[in-house]
């Protein structure tokens, strides 16, 4: 069994915040993969289902971000899981918007949700780091992550969430490579494959256009004159006519 945790803050006030992208990821997975309805348990909202052949519990702590570890620790003990069975989806300031990285273990890098989880279950758990960008100055971070994603971000956000859901079964069975491929296919569809084809098409189009504009060489060249069979004397006489 795997425990997938999404980090965020509870309530409609925070639903669209950058800090709540972890909640958004789990909502997308639950909807796309037919999980059970959400219910209140472990100081959070949880549901369960299967991803591929793996039984999975989804958990959205409702303790507010800074106390997320309370909920995660309670669920971990109830299901008798180890920290290695846990994967946490969270916002990441150090990644550009729309970027995604998978990591196992390591520090919390100042993220208060991860800091709380570290305190309750240790650091040996997986993370899916979801880039939201950085406001540019550390003093602006709190206000930045507690603001909603702007409308201009909705396209890449939707693609990222769908990619996370596409690859969720791979993530649950521990294949982070295939998981990242699934995300990439949504976020940058066909960029590596069709991108090169597009380049060829553009080159061919340009070549075709140039060819269409160009006239045959014989069309611009002066027509060859007829053969002059006059004798030198006739040519001389013709000049005085």
CA 55 – CA 3 distance, rounded (Å): 9
Residue 74 domain flag: yes
Residue 173 domain flag: yes
Residue 6 domain flag: yes
On whether the CB atoms of residues 127 and 117 are closer than 8 A, the answer is: no
Count of structural domains, the chain? 1
- Sheet (strand 126-131) strand order: 39-41, 44-51, 54-61, 2-6, 86-92, 126-131, 100-104
Residue 237 domain flag: no
With 70 as the cut, is the pLDDT of residue 228 above it? no
User: How does pLDDT run across 214-223, given as a tens digit for each residue?
Assistant: 444 434 444 4
Residue 206 domain flag: no
Residue 192 domain flag: no
The number of beta carbons lying within 10 Å of the beta carbon of residue 229 is: 6
CA 92 – CA 238 distance, rounded (Å): 94
Lookup: tokens for 165: 């859901």
Which range marks the domain in which residue 21 is found?
A: 2-187
Residue 61 domain flag: yes
With 60 as the cut, is the pLDDT of residue 225 above it? no
Lookup: tokens for 14: 């925070």
Mean pLDDT score, 195-216:
41
With 70 as the cut, is the pLDDT of residue 234 above it? no
Per-residue pLDDT band for 188 (boundaries 50, 70, 90) equals confident
Q: What is the DSSP code (8-state) at residue 95?
A: S
With 50 as the cut, is the pLDDT of residue 154 above it? yes
Residues with catalytic function: 19
Residue 225 domain flag: no
CA 197 – CA 217 distance, rounded (Å): 31
Q: What is the CATH number of the domain that holds 20?
A: 3.40.50.1470
With 80 as the cut, is the pLDDT of residue 205 above it? no
């Amino acid at each position: 069994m795997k425990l997938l945790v999404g980090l965020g803050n509870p309530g409609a006030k925070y639903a669209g915040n950058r800090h709540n992208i972890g909640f958004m990821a789990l909502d997308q997975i639950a909807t796309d993969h037919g999980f059970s309805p959400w219910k209140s348990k472990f100081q959070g909202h949880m549901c369960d289902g299967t991803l591929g052949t793996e039984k999975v519990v989804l958990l959205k702590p409702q303790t507010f971000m800074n106390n997320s570890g309370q909920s995660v620790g309670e669920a971990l003990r109830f299901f008798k899981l180890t920290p290695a069975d846990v994967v946490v989806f969270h916002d990441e300031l150090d990644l550009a918007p729309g970027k995604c990285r998978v990591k196992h273990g390591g520090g919390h890098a100042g993220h208060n949700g991860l800091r709380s989880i570290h305190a309750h279950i240790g650091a040996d758990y997986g993370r899916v780091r979801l880039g939201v960008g950085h406001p540019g100055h550390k003093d602006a971070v709190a206000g930045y992550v507690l603001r909603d994603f702007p409308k201009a971000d909705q396209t890449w956000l939707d693609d990222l969430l769908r990619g996370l859901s596409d690859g969720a079964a791979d993530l649950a069975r521990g294949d982070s490579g295939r998981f990242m491929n699934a995300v990439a296919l949504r976020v940058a569809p066909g960029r590596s494959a069709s991108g090169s084809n597009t380049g060829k098409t553009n080159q061919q189009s340009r070549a075709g256009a140039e060819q269409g504009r160009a006239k045959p060489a014989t069309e611009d060249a002066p027509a060859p004159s007829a053969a002059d069979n006059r004798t030198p004397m006739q040519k001389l006489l013709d000049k005085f006519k």
